[in-house]
Amino acid sequence: MQTRSEITTTDGVKLHVSISGPQDAQVTVVLAHGWCLDRRTWMHQITALAGMGRRAPRVIAFDTRGHGRSGATRLREATLARLGDDMAEVIRRCAPTGPVVLAGHSMGGMTIMEYAHRHPGEFAARVAGLLLVSTTAEGHTHTRYGLPVSLANVLRAGETFGAGLLARSGTWRPHRAVLPALRPALRWLLFGDDCAEEAMLLTMRSLGRAPLRSIGGFRESIGAQLRLDTLAELSGMPTTVLVGDRDRLTPPACAESIAGALTGAELTVLAGAGHMLPLERPAEVSEALVAIVRRAARDAKRARRALTRPSRCSRAA
């Protein structure tokens, strides 16, 4: 059974949250979606987690500020730093105890890194596993849009200028009317060799919900983020990194640098896949997430046994 609610952040923005799974689950999974998308990106993974039966985790999926059903963000708060703080608030209020597995797609993965950077004590105490999907820790360092470097630089300059204009356009959504015309470009930019109609339509509907301020406002922060040092401090954390070899926004070089910084992380490159892996390759993403949840549950069980096992001193007494 899924319940929906809202939480109000410390700066007054209402975040739309959906919660499913057993209340007494051993593990809680928190799902963070990408830029201009919403929590529905994870619909296949939510179904897969529910299918774990008695071992099913509690699942929290929320719409980032300025996205989906969540409230609009002020332009000065359209930053990854603020999203990291929002994630901290969601976890404190909706999952105050127990181990947490974090899964992030694209900007959602960057949000997880920001949470780790800004709240290292909480992160270390609570997080038991990570799934980082089609994301980067180096801003736009490796982004080439699948084009030669010279053309990519021209496109980035135009994108950056356009983002600045959109950021100052408020909460309007006039782009909904032109989305059908943009469909071929979105299909090329976001997907790989195959694209189910359902995945394409959901992506377009999510983009249609995003205000112009959100589309443009987060661009600067996303392009500038550098968090490899933060990831290096998390070495040993159970982590899986997924990327498509046709990803034009966060190409394999992004995932490789993440896996290189996170000692012990498992890297998988999916042939023929693009940027929208949770929708494009749902089975592979779900399999990776379920495996991390199972490992987190085993680790939590062992930790509880260790706490209840009598010490040598107590046995001797």
Q: Assign residue 305 a region (left: φ > 0; alpha: ψ between -120 and 50; beta: otherwise).
A: alpha
Predicted pLDDT of residue 313: 47
Lowest mean pLDDT across 50-54, 116-120, 127-131, 277-281: 50-54
Domains of the chain: 3-302 (3.40.50.1820)
Report the Cα–Cα distance between both ends of the chain, in Å, rounded.
49
Distance CA 5, CA 221 (A): 28
Residue 38 clears pLDDT 90, i.e. is over it = yes
Between CA 192 and CA 280 the distance in angstroms is 8
Helix axis angle, 282-308 relative to 43-50, nearest 10°? 50
Residue 66 pLDDT exceeds 70: yes
Token pair belonging to 124: 């270390």
Q: Are 5 and 34 in contact (CB under 8 A)?
A: no
Give the span between the Cα atoms of 276 and 199, in whole angstroms: 9
Separation CA 65–CA 211 (nearest Å): 11
Residue-wise pLDDT tens digits, 226-247: 999 999 999 889 999 999 999 9
pLDDT at 287: 98
State the pLDDT at residue 209: 87
What average pLDDT does range 57-64 have in this prediction?
Answer: 98
**What's the pLDDT at 140?**
81
Distance CA 300, CA 216 (A): 41
CA gap 109, 131 in Å, rounded? 8
pLDDT value of residue 152: 61
Query: 45 with 290: CB under 8 angstroms?
Result: no
Q: What pLDDT does 261 receive?
A: 96
Question: What is the C-alpha to C-alpha distance for residues 165 and 160, in angstroms, rounded to an integer?
Answer: 9
Count helices and strands in the chain by DSSP H and E runs = 14, 8
- pLDDT at residue number 161: 46
Per residue in 71-94, pLDDT (tens digit) is: 999 988 999 999 999 999 999 999
Residue 273 has pLDDT above 60, yes or no: yes
Q: What is the largest CA-CA distance in the chain?
A: 78
Q: Do residues 154 and 272 touch, judged by C-beta distance below 8 A? A: no
Answer whether residue 51 shows pLDDT above 80: yes
Q: What pLDDT does 160 receive? A: 65
Higher pLDDT, 268 or 312: 268
Q: Report pLDDT digits (tens) over 280-297.
A: 999 999 999 999 999 999
Quote the mean pLDDT of the chain.
Answer: 89
Q: 199-224: per-residue pLDDT in tens?
A: 999 999 998 888 888 888 888 899 89
Dihedral of the alpha carbons of 25, 26, 32, 38, in degrees to the nearest 10: -10
pLDDT, residue 219, reads 87
Strand partners, 101: 29, 129
- Structure confidence by residue, pLDDT tens digits, 123-161: 999 999 999 999 999 988 777 666 666 666 655 666 664
pLDDT digits (tens, 9 = 90+) for 151-195: 666 556 666 646 555 656 656 565 667 788 889 989 999 999 999
**Dist. CA 317–CA 303, nearest whole Å:** 24
